[in-house]
Amino acid sequence: MNQPGSRKAIIVGGSMGGLFIGNMLVRRGWDVDIYERVAGMLNVRGAGIAGHPEYEPIMRACGLSDARPVGIEVEGRTAYDQDGRVIAFHPHPQYLTFWGVVHAKLLGAFPAARYHTGVGFQGLEPGTRQCRVRLSNGETVAADLVVAADGLRSSVRAALAPDIVPDYGGYFAFRGIAPEHKLSARFRDTMMGRYIWVFPGDGQFSGYPICGMDFSTEPGRRQYAYLWYRAIGAEAMRDLLTDAGGRCHEHNIPPPLIRPEHFVRLRQDADRLLAPLFSEIVRAAEHDMLQPMYDVESREIAFGNVCLLGDAAFTARPHVGIGVLKAGQDALELIQCLERHEVIPEALKAYAAARVPTGRKAVRFSRYLGTFIERGHPSPETDPDLQLTAQFLLQTSARTVESAEAFLGPRRAMFDALVTA
């Protein structure tokens, strides 16, 4: 693994992006430490992840020959109106896995003694050959390479590019996960294997099957996840982010601190706005979560011997299936650039040249798909100028941007103008 005299890397952030690049570096002889500010384990976080063939080379580069995580197969995506009638279908065989499955695989592959929890980033001292990173445990560690994989509100990005801050997109995703055994027999028989989109006149509702908390795919032990995008103004946003003690959390609120009345109201709205077969998902759900939609669009992601990766570099809304996948693609490009260029700053410049255009396009594509929600429109077709339809959303959502672009058609000129603006 690590050889005497091997180059030293420090990775700030122990979620998906940090583990992708950490495993890749370790398997190429680097001396690697990952520092994750959260004290507990992360593998219980998150919900569903759409599987893509692009994961296979990423997982192999991490040393995982069993490249495909366990998941549930779906044959396509189906859209419904408020009354539960089918309004669009797109055949797209895909498997849906659970965030915890992928994280557990990556964490198990990384040397346990080099994964440090409860240790955050405090500061950075740049150097011509090495950087020195100050940590919350009082240590200062020198490294040839520093990778910031610390997410949407990256502390490293704040130190290097303080002008790049998350931009609120105007809406939230309300999330939950329903155990299969709590859903009706009718739902289990007709919907458990479907990936659904619903347009209830109040944002966009999506649902999809995932494996159980024990990673089981056996009938009866699976789960069904939902997310409901709803436009939320500034005053309502403050209320959603305020806990029972009256503290308003600045950007997001930990799930245990969400006031219960918000999801009581959501369940009432589900009964009012969704067909009964879909409202039961919300009523049966556990693990309530709130996710404000933010965009992060960095102008630069390489700073000498330091680079940004994953959501620290670009954060796109979940309409395109790139959250975890983009972090893996970033890591794969970074490791390839480090292998091609002996001088680390030159490798990071090449990495930035490859990934900045891709990240920018992903942010803008996901923003485009969510425009009708942000503007409070009751359906994608409300504003004809947007050229959004239920069929187009089925074709492009939960895909890589590269594959989604094939469906732009007459929207191509409009979208190209948006990306280059």
Query: Do 104 and 91 fall within a single domain?
Result: no
Q: How far apart are CA 244 and CA 328, in angstroms?
A: 37
Query: Do 84 and 61 fall within a single domain?
Result: no
Give the residue from 274, 294, 314 where a domain finishes. Answer: 294
Residue 124 is assigned to a structural domain of this protein: yes
Give the residue from 249, 276, 294 where a domain finishes. Answer: 294
Stretches in the chain below the pLDDT threshold 50: 1-2, 4
Output the pLDDT for position 400: 83
- Amino acid at site 213: M
Query: Do 135 and 196 fall within a single domain?
Result: no
Residue 2 is assigned to a structural domain of this protein: no
DSSP letter for each residue of 342-410? SSHHHHHHHHHHHHHHHHHHHHHHHHHHTHHHHTT-SSTTSSGGG---HHHHHHHTTS-HHHHGGG-GG
Domain residue limits at 338: 8-66+100-166+295-366
Give all strands of the β-sheet with 195-198 in edge-to-edge order.
48-50, 86-98, 72-80, 195-198, 204-210, 223-231, 167-179, 286-297, 314-315
Residue 350 is assigned to a structural domain of this protein: yes
CATH of residue 330's domain is: 3.50.50.60
Whole-model pTM? 0.91
Mean pLDDT of the chain, nearest integer: 91
Residue 313 is assigned to a structural domain of this protein: yes
- What is the total count of domains within the chain? 2
Report helix, strand or coil for 308: strand
Q: How far apart are CA 183 and CA 318, in angstroms?
A: 25
Query: Do 118 and 24 fall within a single domain?
Result: yes
CATH of residue 188's domain is: 3.30.9.60
Cα 342 off chain centre by: 32
Give the residue from 273, 294, 315 where a domain finishes. Answer: 294
Query: Do 86 and 201 fall within a single domain?
Result: yes
Query: Do 78 and 190 fall within a single domain?
Result: yes
Residue 391 is assigned to a structural domain of this protein: no
Output the pLDDT for position 100: 78
Q: Are 366 and 385 in contact (CB under 8 A)?
A: no
Residue 245 is assigned to a structural domain of this protein: yes
Structure tokens at 364: 């803008």
User: pLDDT for 254-289, tens place per residue?
Assistant: 899 999 999 999 999 999 999 999 999 999 998 899
Report helix, strand or coil for 23: helix
Query: Do 58 and 104 fall within a single domain?
Result: yes
Distances (CA, A) of 165 to 153, 284, 310, 313: 8, 36, 15, 11
- As to burial, measured by CB atoms within 10 angstroms (0-12 exposed, 13-18 middle, 19+ buried), residue 17 is buried
Give which of 22, 266, 259, 256 is closest to 146, Cα–Cα: 22
Q: Are 124 and 156 in contact (CB under 8 A)?
A: yes
Q: How far apart are CA 110 and CA 302, in angstroms?
A: 25
